[in-house]
Amino acid sequence: MAKSIRTGRLLLRPLRADDAEAVFALFANWEVIRWLSSPPWPYTREDASSFLELCERNAGGEAAELAIVLDSSLIGGIGMRMWPARRLQSGPGPFVGYWLGQPYWGNGYMTEAARGFLAWIFAAHGCDTIYSGVFADNAASLRVQVKLGFVRDGETTLYSKPRGADFPHINTRLTRSAFEARGQ
């Protein structure tokens, strides 16, 4: 599990119980949560506390759930799960997901955070491919992945709990060689 990762402007550190109010304040926003598959809607303080308790229980395993921190303020989250067989399409390996509070959109924070996190995954896990994906209507998140070197790896539908239905989903993958070729 990652202890902490520093980038130029950000600190990525494990999420903890005392992050509940900050997570709730940013995450209980339809414009943020609608792009995700598993959180409930409406999102409550109890949901934030339960999520953070789960993160603390799972710390030290093959999953990593990190806070994205700017100037000591939590602005988002990024996480990884190891899939024995990728649930969306391709083979086994790490699957990365992320979110950023709406006030912080458009500043390059997610690209910067993900770049640092991906470098850590490649170094710590010795894998050759990292998987991710976006709902097809989430152009901003897809742009982040393209900047990092992810390529499309098929399409499927994925259930969105907040939206209550299946939606088109673009599966993506990033190889170590593509990541390194970008000087990341």
Q: What is the pLDDT along the chain (184 residues), one digit of tens a residue?
A: 568 999 999 999 999 999 999 999 999 999 999 999 999 999 999 999 999 998 888 776 677 899 999 999 999 999 998 876 545 455 678 999 999 999 999 999 999 999 999 999 999 988 999 999 999 999 999 999 999 999 999 999 999 999 999 999 999 999 999 999 988 6
All structural domains of the chain: 5-181 (3.40.630.30)
Residue 98 and residue 77 in contact, taking contact as beta carbons nearer than 8 Å: yes
Question: Looking at this protein, which amino acid is placed at residue 151?
Answer: V
Please enumerate in sequence order all residues whose Cβ is within 8 A of that of 101, keeping only pairs 6 or more positions apart, or say none: 25, 26, 27, 29, 32, 75, 76
What's the CA gap between 22 and 142, in Å, rounded?
Answer: 25
The verdict on pTM exceeding 0.75 is yes
Q: How many CB atoms lie within 10 A of CB 17?
A: 11
Residue 133 and residue 174 in contact, taking contact as beta carbons nearer than 8 Å: no
Question: Looking at this protein, which amino acid is placed at residue 99?
Answer: W
Sheet hosting strand 151-160, strand order edge to edge: 5-6, 10-14, 64-70, 73-83, 93-100, 129-135, 165-175, 151-160
